[in-house]
Structure 1
Amino acid sequence: MSKNNFPKLHNATWPGIVGKGDHEPIISLDELLEKTAHANVDGVKFDGIDLGLFSAHVKLDPTDENVNWLVDKVGRYDLEIGTLVAPIWSPDGGSAMGTQADRDRFVAVVQKASEFGYKLRKQGIRTNNVIRIDSATSVGEWAKNPLENTKIIAETFRRACDVAATYGERLAAEGEICWGGMQSWRTMLEMLEMVDRDNMGFQADMSHTFLYLLGYNEPKDRILKTDFQWEDRAELERGLQFLTDKLRPWTIDFHVAQNDGTVFGSGSHDKTGRHCLPTDPNGKLDIVKDAGYWLRDENGNPNKVFDHICWDGCMFPNEVMHKQETWNSILETMIKVRNAHGWSV
């Protein structure tokens, strides 16, 4: 463990669920914890996990029994818990721009996640107070009436923020092209400004936000020039600088990831930025350098906003996730990111 080095290094549990269930079985929480805990690069290990509160892994009901069960399970691997994901698109949740009943369920799920998160912090195993959400609606549905639907989502997010605040929690809106009202840098920024809550922020994933540059699902908001070629690193860096200048001030949660410039979906998950292994030869990001656009301030200094950073490899094939060397390679990349942009205390 690396308790005096920041940001701490976390792995995500939801890639064992997201995109699974149709063609591949869900990967158990136990296996994900084992792979995370056993990863080791020259004595450096993962510090913790970011946790999806999905029924395949965790009972969302925030009873003391359920909380204690999770604390014992994660604690025995000497891991801490960071950001949580509220399962707002589970059967118990609902769309943030759906019917009144849908929106009420959305807020109710956030409330349960917030209480769960608060109790984990009280137990001392959880290190931050961020819960990730999205609009739980498609871009196509949102596009039927963008102005009105944006207002509805923002109002639902405000209600969710107010509930989360009673437990001392912050909400991070996931910047991903598959979520209506959140599918481009501009729609995301407009949403955040409209919500206007102190405990509302942005969750940046290097793979998902990368697609903002290319204007997928919102061509008018494309950042890179239309004749952009992948060999043009200067133009790519200009785009990353523009994107991060807009959204970095809102960012409270950060995922290290790789992307090959394409979209991908599996199972029931809509197409979004494809996550690639850090060693993928088709990867378009210089992971270590490009992480700095999010992790350093306008003066080039580590911004120290995040107590931890997380790796996200959603929709990796199970055969890849079952291999311990996959997680060692990912940990090695995370260490390089921290060495380049982190700090010690």
Structure 2
Amino acid sequence: MQKNNYPKLHNASWPGVVGKGPDSEPPIPLDTMIELTANAEVDGVKFDGFDLFLFDPHMDIDSSKDDIKRMAEKAQSKNLEIGSLVAPVWTPTGGGSAMGSKEDRDRFVTQVRKSCVIAQELRALGVRPNGVVRIDSSVDPASWAEDPVGNTKLIAQTFREACDIAADYGESLAAEGEICWGGMHGWKSMINTLEAVDRPNIGFQADMAHTLLYLLGYNKPDERILPADFDWDDRETLTAGLKTLTAALRPWTIDFHVAQNDGTVFGAGSHDKTGRHCQATDPNGKLNIPVDAGHWLRDEDGTLTKRFRHICWDGCMFPNEVMMQPKTWNDILAAMIQVRDMHGWYEAE
């Protein structure tokens, strides 16, 4: 019997950039991240691709057609495809808050448009068979909390404009479920924002490390699912909480990150504290990676949704020393293979 070959297994490139910089460790070049990804192998299985951060020093959001072509050729030379792209919607990168001034919101939408141009071109070049463009609100939870109703309306308006532009390029936008983004920092708040956008080409990006903290109500205590005295050894209660969370968010989910978390928050460089990404084999990890991935990849009846043509590992803010070790990526790939063996499928190619 053939092994599952879907969903395709991707590695994220942005751990080479996120949390790095002058106030932390130096960034790891994209070429190095691609090389580490391409070289990983477990029992003859390799990564199928990588997801890409449209952010210097990895890839300039203002890349020319020739630049985009070179990126496609770089991936193809390593027998890798490119999947989802991250739009640099934040103020330091030329973007702005999705609930800010008109100028802020216009800059946000402009960054999405530029990202969709690159996304469409990579698709046309044959290197990007699937994937979405990731966005967030580009604002902190405390600022959002000054006027939850009004600020959610502003974020939704900005996202709506971004969705309409993305539709012109045949793209969908995935709002990242991370506790450091206002209006997206709790699971109910995330759903309220998505419902307010009211566009068919927006959805949710679930990251197992980030969504775990939704259960604990970090930054949104009134949306906590697990009891205040929760004991991590109580697997039955944790599973029940994951089922509650995924039942609500799974219908919205259009992009999925496999990850591990030790139940704490962490920030590095200029990145705000968010769900701590742990190594796949971290003994302090609170998730059973392949089992808990199933809450997102299967419906409540246990049937495969087959909604994701690829899934991506996310390990942001790992120390550079860890990321430069081939064993790190082989362990990650092994975890990804376990997820696909348990929740994947086979298609003739």
Q: Same fold (TM over 0.5)?
A: yes
**1:1-345 maps to which residues of 2 (within 5 A)?**
5-21=5-21, 22-89=23-90, 90-345=92-347
Asked if structure 2 preserves the Cα contact closer than 8 Å seen for 1:93 and 1:109, the reply is yes
Give 2:9's aligned amino acid: L
Distance 1:60 1:268 in 2: 20
Give 2:55's aligned amino acid: F
Distance 1:341 1:78 in 2: 24
Deviations along 1:232-289, one digit per CA (max 9) or x if unpaired, are 1110001000000000000000000000000000100000000000111100001110
Distance 1:64 1:30 in 2: 19
Kindly state the Cα deviation for residue 3 of structure 1 after the two structures are TM-superposed: 11
Kindly state the Cα deviation for residue 72 of structure 1 after the two structures are TM-superposed: 1.5
Give 2:25's aligned amino acid: E
Query: Stretches of 4+ moved more than 3 A in 1?
Result: none
Asked if structure 1 preserves the Cα contact closer than 8 Å seen for 2:4 and 2:341, the reply is no
Kindly state the Cα deviation for residue 129 of structure 1 after the two structures are TM-superposed: 4.0
Kindly state the Cα deviation for residue 4 of structure 1 after the two structures are TM-superposed: 6.9
Give 2:101's aligned amino acid: T
Q: Percent identity?
A: 63
Asked if structure 2 preserves the Cα contact closer than 8 Å seen for 1:62 and 1:113, the reply is no
Asked if structure 1 preserves the Cα contact closer than 8 Å seen for 2:144 and 2:182, the reply is yes
Deviations along 1:34-65, one digit per CA (max 9) or x if unpaired, are 00000000110000000000021112225311
Distance 1:3 1:85 in 2: 30
Kindly state the Cα deviation for residue 225 of structure 1 after the two structures are TM-superposed: 1.4
Kindly state the Cα deviation for residue 149 of structure 1 after the two structures are TM-superposed: 0.5
Instruction: Quote the RMSD (CA, aligned, Å).
Output: 1.2
Asked if structure 1 preserves the Cα contact closer than 8 Å seen for 2:313 and 2:332, the reply is yes
SS at match of 1:50: strand
SS at match of 1:214: coil
Deviations along 1:90-133, one digit per CA (max 9) or x if unpaired, are 43111101111110000000000001100100000002140000
Give 1:332's aligned amino acid: A
Give 1:343's aligned amino acid: W
SS at match of 1:259: strand
Distance 1:109 1:338 in 2: 33
Distance 1:95 1:69 in 2: 31
Give 2:223's aligned amino acid: D
Residues matched between the structures, number: 344
* Deviating more after overlay: 86-95 vs 191-200: 86-95
SS at match of 2:278: coil
Distance 2:306 2:52 in 1: 22
Unaligned runs of 5+ in 1: none
SS at match of 2:263: coil
Give 1:238's aligned amino acid: A
Distance 1:258 1:79 in 2: 24
Deviations along 1:6-37, one digit per CA (max 9) or x if unpaired, are 00000000110000012200000010000000
Asked if structure 2 preserves the Cα contact closer than 8 Å seen for 1:253 and 1:306, the reply is yes
Asked if structure 2 preserves the Cα contact closer than 8 Å seen for 1:262 and 1:274, the reply is yes
Asked if structure 1 preserves the Cα contact closer than 8 Å seen for 2:87 and 2:133, the reply is yes
Asked if structure 1 preserves the Cα contact closer than 8 Å seen for 2:84 and 2:133, the reply is yes
Give 2:16's aligned amino acid: G
Shift in CA distance, 289/302, structure 1 to aligned 2, threshold 3 Å: same
TM-score where L is the length of structure 1? 0.98
TM-score where L is the length of structure 2? 0.97
Unaligned runs of 5+ in 2: none
Distance 1:165 1:61 in 2: 20
Asked if structure 2 preserves the Cα contact closer than 8 Å seen for 1:129 and 1:168, the reply is no
Give 1:235's aligned amino acid: T
